[in-house]
Structure 1
Amino acid sequence: MTKKTACVFGASGGIGAALVAQLAARDDIAIVHAGARRQVDGGAKVRPFRFDLLDEASIQDAAQGMADNPPDLVIVATGVLAFEGGAGPEKSLKAIDPAAMAQMLAVNTIGPAVIAKHMLPLLPRDHRGVFAALSARVGSIGDNRLGGWHSYRASKAALNMLLRNFAIELRRTHKEAIVVGLHPGTVDTALSHPFQRNVPEGQLTTPQQAATNLLSVIDGLTAAQSGDVFAWDGEPIPF
């Protein structure tokens, strides 16, 4: 069995930390690069690195540090739903604040795009490689029935479009590469905590279960599915 290298951006978050732990426990994974703003702890397989989602130089340095042992799997487990001290997702257009919207797009859209800019070229050209970024069902335009949450929805819809663009561009040089968005469901993390009161019973999952679900989806993907967005159970989500 040829062992692989994985990389998780956002390794200090609930889902990110669970992904790092589960990847490190797998027999087919030799190294897990684990990136966060602060140093993360890990076992013998984990290689911590620091990066700032809003600082391209730090992302470029991280990518260069992996060039000698490039990853077969890259997962971007970053994202924000509401900012500390903010009012949370907008319930109406009256609540739109240009600065808050720009900040949301910077974190949820531009940051992952910059990671893709520097990490996608490192994916293998001669065998399967995966780049997956956490998205959200509410980023689907076709599935939008309730409206609201303008900045968050827009940031994830834009991310989904960029992932489709990247998939189209990458398949010209990396025939077996897969670029996808993943919706983890509603997970018991700091991101969802203020909004868990309205979650139906049985639909709130732990970070560990979310990581298991997401890795199962990733393991089943084929190159023909590159550019799409999938839910935690493997079902495609419309754009």
Structure 2
Amino acid sequence: MKHALIIGASGGVGGAIVGQLQAGHWQVSRLSRSGDGLDLTDEISVQDHMDRISGPYDLILIATGALEINGARPEKSLSQISAQAMMDQFALNTVGPALVLRHAKRLLPKERPSIIAALSARVGSIGDNHLGGWTGYRASKAALNQVIRCAAIELARTHKQAACVALHPGTVATKFTERYQTRHPTVTPAQAAQNLLRVITKLTPEQSGRFFDWAGKEIPW
């Protein structure tokens, strides 16, 4: 039986992935803020929760993040940038996943293939940015992509069969995207989970350190 750890398991995408993995007879460990009190913006909280688990896990998925934090909406221009709003974005979308990744070596097996993935966003791509705006969210996800890249390089030295990637789930119909669903085609959390798991199960170590969308197409950094 394969084992998975889902960080953010109470969210729309995370919860749907948990359900589909369990339906596929995976053993799933779940961590979330609402279910377990995990606060990714608090280093001590992350350390305490991660210290309680041992693995090894065939899949670790970080399915956390937020577009609006403490009521701050994405900036439409540079004039709307707020230091606190940007720091909040980085704390949750970048630093939190990085703190989880700090435990990756201990939680992934060395003797068999494994996957560690974090949900990023296409708007975090610097090369694909043609509209500007959303500076804090874009920057936090671009920084997350760099964290994933660094983690992949380091893991390759000790975990030859591991793949560490960033994933774009598309626009998923959840509270996370409620204000923005009319601008882009959306998918249900169940469909997003199915799409992501299809990509995840086909990943190879040669693809580690890269950024893929829900259809398995690579996104430029």
Which TM-score applies when normalising by structure 1?
0.89
Aligned-partner Cα distance in 2 for 1:162–1:120: 15
The offset of 1:198, in angstroms, is 1.7
Higher helix share: 2
Alignment deviations for residues 61-80 of structure 1 (CA, whole Å, 9 cap, x no partner): 3323221x421110000001
Q: In structure 2, what is the equivalent of residue 58 of structure 1? A: 45
Counterpart AA for 1:38: S
Worse-superposed segment, 49-58 or 123-132: 49-58
Please list every run of at least 4 consecutive aligned residues from structure 1 whose deviation after the TM superposition is greater than 6 angstroms: none
The alpha-carbon deviation at position 17 of structure 1 amounts to 0.6
**2:41 is paired with a residue of what secondary structure?**
coil
Percent identity between matched residues is 51
1:230 and 1:236 in contact (8 A); partners too: yes
What is the Cα deviation at residue 50 of structure 1? 4.0
Could you state the TM-score of these two structures normalised by the residue count of structure 2? 0.96
Match of 1:207 among 189, 194, 206: 189
Q: List runs of 5+ in structure 2 lacking aligned partners.
A: none
The change in CA–CA distance for 1:61 and 1:84 in structure 2 (over 3 A counts) is closer
- On the 8 A contact 1:59/1:118 being kept in 2, the answer is no
> Which residue of structure 2 aligns with residue 46 of structure 1?
none
- CA–CA separation in structure 1 for the residues paired with 2:192 and 2:29: 20
1:75-114 alignment, distance < 5 Å: 75-86=61-72, 88-114=73-99
**SS of the counterpart of 1:220?**
coil
| Superposition CA RMSD, Å | 1.1
CA distance in 2, matches of 1:50, 1:57: 12
- Partner letter of residue 147 of structure 2? L
Richer in strand (by share): 1
Counterpart Cα distance in 2 of 1:119 and 1:173: 11
Correspondences of 1:106-185 after superposition (within 5 Å):
106-185=91-170
Structure 1 SS opposite 2:47: helix
- How many positions carry a matched residue from both structures? 221
1:120 touches 1:131 (CA, 8 Å); kept in 2? no
Matched, 1:231 2:217: no
Matched, 1:190 2:175: yes
CA distance, structure 2, for counterparts of residue 19 and residue 229 of structure 1 = 19
The reply to whether residue 74 of structure 1 matches residue 74 of structure 2 is: no
| More divergent stretch after superposition (55-64 vs 94-103) | 55-64
Pick the aligned partner of 1:218 from 166, 189, 200.
200
